[in-house]
Structure 1
Amino acid sequence: MSQSNGAEVSRLLATVTRATLWRGSTQGDAFMTPLSFAQRRLWFLDQLEESSSAYNTVIAMELHGPLDGAALDAALRDVIERHEVLRTVFPTENGEPYQHILDARELNWELEIRRAEPGDVADAVAEAGQHPFDLSTDVPIRAWLLDTAANENVLIITLHHIATDAWSNRPLARDLATAYEARSRSEAPQWEPLPVQYADYALWQRELLGEDSDPNSRLSVQTAYWRRILAGIPEELTLPTDRPRPAVASGRGHRARFSVPAEVHERLAELARAEGTTLYMAVQTALAMLLSRLGAGTDIPIGAAVAGRTDEALEDLVGFFVNTLVIRTDLSGDPEFRQALARVRESSLGAFAHQDLPFERLVEEVAPERSLARHPLFQVLLTFQNAAEAALELADVTARPLDPNLTVANFDLDVTLMASVDEEGRPAGLEGVIVGADDLFDAQTVSGIAERFVRVLEAVSAAPEARLSRLDVLGVLERDRILRGWNETGAEVGASSILELFGRQVGVVPGAVAVVCGEVELTYA
């Protein structure tokens, strides 16, 4: 995440002051706060996929210890009051959505507490993940507390992505812990007011980008850059699918986990440093080369998610700030891995320097063929997960995260990696997961792609001078099956000569054609 300098922070806060006074000086919705660009795309998708849970995010935690359910309920309401986006609904006026922030004092919201057997927890988490939000009337957060045994509880929080992202987990958990501690003492939490709210950010975003009519505005400059960079981009990436793409994507997926050994992680990190790149760029290059070897060609667009919190005043705010960039990898000319990495470095730095243009606006400008069956501009997303987990610290209660194990496929392939380090800060391995769309892939195919990805990372880290065409994506068993198993065509051959065999055919099928030369045909007889 990048941080702005003091002047940019002051500029943001000045904008916020104007926006806040503007909102506060009107009654009702005379001034309608627009959605951010990212929110607008999610709202649009929600209209297309009514009652869909594809954009839900779930936080689930086991809570061990004497928990005060009433204090937790009050603390959650405190957090919702503190972060306006959590009590925002999205009605429309003349077909145009806007942010309507509900008064916390009038909010009809509560933590749902119920008894549950330990064996029912997984089903309860799955059910919570499927909760449908009506964005026009429902605040984008629901929570359940499952009482599973004495001093044993499970907290489940479901949020719509329109109000949160992975980075938001940290301020959400921190503020919940602060509020719970206060409510456990029958007190209200005492915290510093947030310098900005999400609605202010949505207004500032438009001021930052400027107008189309101004050729020197950030919007115009970055739009021109992306139009040039993405000219001629493939409409759809060719992947090794098991079946044709349906007319409408279902959102169902298969998940395959994989691990990259510490020694491979260390070699990749050293290579990245030597080449003046990041580990992310090295991994992205390897992924692009794998996709190319699997039949995707040499023009490989891959999506990259960026935090989007380009000002330090946004760090402690819950909200949806993530933007998506398209990193186009040129693998023409059979490059060595080092050469491909240099190309990815150049394209990535250019993309990061022009990351303010919202992806939603980029799609409008590039205007690819729109389809409900696939994601526009790219179908493969690569994410390095470095956002802090929701480490919830409640007084006298130990919290342990639960994997919601929800597999939603918003892309053909969604690749996520997380790096770990040892006590001395050295690379200790990469943990990853690939989610493949069930519409296109069998579970076994997704697992196979994960295995090949690890194989490619091992190969390029050991021999970065290797060319794309020499990159081996086959395992030992696969190679043996192709070279030996499928060619196991040996058969017993008798001792008869060719003349004896021919004579046998004369007796069996004398009228059959034996020799053809031009228009002349001779039978065996």
Structure 2
Amino acid sequence: LSLAQQRMWFLNRFDTESSVNNIPVAVRLTGALDLGALRAAVQDLLARHEVLRTVYPEVDGRPYQLILPVAEAAPDIDVESATEDDLLQKVTAVVSRGFDVTTEIPLRARLFELSERDHVLVFVVHHISADGWSISPLTRDVMTAYMSRAEGQVPGWAPLPVQYADFAIWQRDVLGDEDDAASLLAAQADFWKRTLAGLPDELNLPMDRPRPAVQSFAGGMVGFTIDADTHRGLAALARRTGTTMFMVVHTALAVFLARMADTDDVAIGTPIAGRGEAEVDDLIGMFVNTLVLRSRVDTGEGFSDLLARVREADLEAFAHADIPFERLVEIIDPERSTARHPLFQVVLSF
């Protein structure tokens, strides 16, 4: 397994009923549907992406990747009637059911029929075999294959240059052994030990209720808009200071959190795609990593000065982004709690 997969495997063994690491996508299909072509297209998808037909059993306590033949792995697309009123409830039920990755392939499919010419195709894939980026090649390849199969042809796509299992082996080879002082993994571990030394275990934001003893993963959503003038101002500031919009927004968020939590030490998490090689751009797989961006916020400092320091810290973090977050938690070894996320509790996904 890749290093990120190891953590996903452990979490899945801990609770196979949990859906927190499920990645769903639903596609509305309008017009005459060829169900046979759709089923063939899903088999084409599994043939193209080995990771979608991989299970993760263990031998002597260690997991390994077992890639199944397409005929053995391909999920049957169950067809279920639905109405506009109960569609969301039915889709939610499909995507909220957990996986046992030791015995089940990490992909599930369901087709909801609202009428003869109106369907919703639902996929849910476990995070051990995919990330957010993966949804684009997944849906694109299914639709490409469907169009070919509906015309009685096989998909004419070029073979993928690598498979995810190749990446997992390459990653371990490149990063090396942490016990080897000359390895890339050891060098990055040393960087993060220095960078995150003494980091507070929790950002104490004011809350209207105490944290539960065990985090529930239940959440809500509040929307707001940044108007065009403000956006232009942010973009102009980024150009003028040789930074990026991400860095400007990161700095502003750090200032806000420092004021809200009355602290000068702010850690914010951010996801990074982890696809540094063009060969993996069209590959379904678990590449994403999470970085910890630490900022020291001096209330007497000008925003531009803080932005310059954040720029340097962000670039340093991006240059040391190969070590998996799960391993980073083990290295830093913060006080563990089931009530909060380790190392940071706020994420900036830009």
2:49 to 74, 83, 97: 83
Question: 2:313 & 2:262 partners in 1: Cα distance?
Answer: 19
Give the Å deviation of 1:369.
1.4
Matched, 1:349 2:315: yes
Correspondence 1:28-427 to 2 at 5 A: 35-107=1-73, 109-384=75-350
Quote the sequence identity (%): 49
Alpha-carbon distance in structure 2 between the residues aligned to 1:107 and 1:144: 15
Question: Could you list the per-position Cα deviations for residues 271-295 of structure 1 after superposition, in whole angstroms to 9, with x for gaps in the alignment?
Answer: 0111111101111111111111212
Q: State the 1:191 CA deviation.
A: 2.1
- Residues 237, 296 of structure 1: 8 Å contact kept: no
- What's the offset of the Cα at 1:47? 2.4
* TM-score, normalised relative to structure 2: 0.97
CA distance in 2, matches of 1:96, 1:296: 44
RMSD of the TM alignment (CA)? 1.3
Residue 351 of structure 1 aligns to which amino acid in structure 2?
A
Q: Deviation string for 1:143-179 (max 9, x for gaps)?
A: 1111102311111111111111121122112211221
Runs of 4+ aligned structure 1 residues displaced above 4 Å come to none
Q: Quote the Cα distance in structure 2 between the aligned partners of 1:50 and 1:160.
A: 11
Query: Is the CA contact (8 Å cut-off) linking 1:145 and 1:153 kept in structure 2?
Result: yes
Query: Residues of 2 paired with 1:316 and 1:296: CA distance?
Result: 44
Residue 333 of structure 1 deviates from its aligned partner by 4.5
Could you tell me how far 1:108 is from its partner in structure 2?
5.1
Determine if contact 1:77/1:110 at 8 Å carries over to the other structure: no
Q: Is the 8 A contact 1:71 1:183 kept in 2?
A: yes
Bigger radius of gyration, 1 or 2?
1
SS of the equivalent of 2:292 reads: strand
Aligned partners of 1:351 and 1:107: how far apart in 2?
39
2:251/2:306 contact within 8 Å kept: yes
Note the C-alpha offset of 1:46. 1.9
Q: What's the CA shift for 1:215?
A: 1.7
| Preserved contact between residue 299 and residue 332 of structure 1 (Cα < 8 Å) | no
What amino acid maps onto 1:250 in structure 2?
Answer: S
State the 1:296 CA deviation: 4.7
1:205–1:144 Cα change, 3 Å = same
- Equivalents in 2 of 1:98, 1:336: separation in Å? 52
Q: Structure 2 counterpart of 1:181, which letter? A: M
Structure 1 runs not aligned, ≥5 long? 1-34, 385-525
Amino acid at match of 2:287: F
| Gap change, CA 1:232 and 1:148, over 3 Å in 2 | same
SS class of match (1:147): strand
Alpha-carbon distance in structure 2 between the residues aligned to 1:225 and 1:295 = 27
Number of paired residues? 350
CA distance in 1, matches of 2:323, 2:96: 31
| Counterpart residue type for residue 347 of structure 1 | A
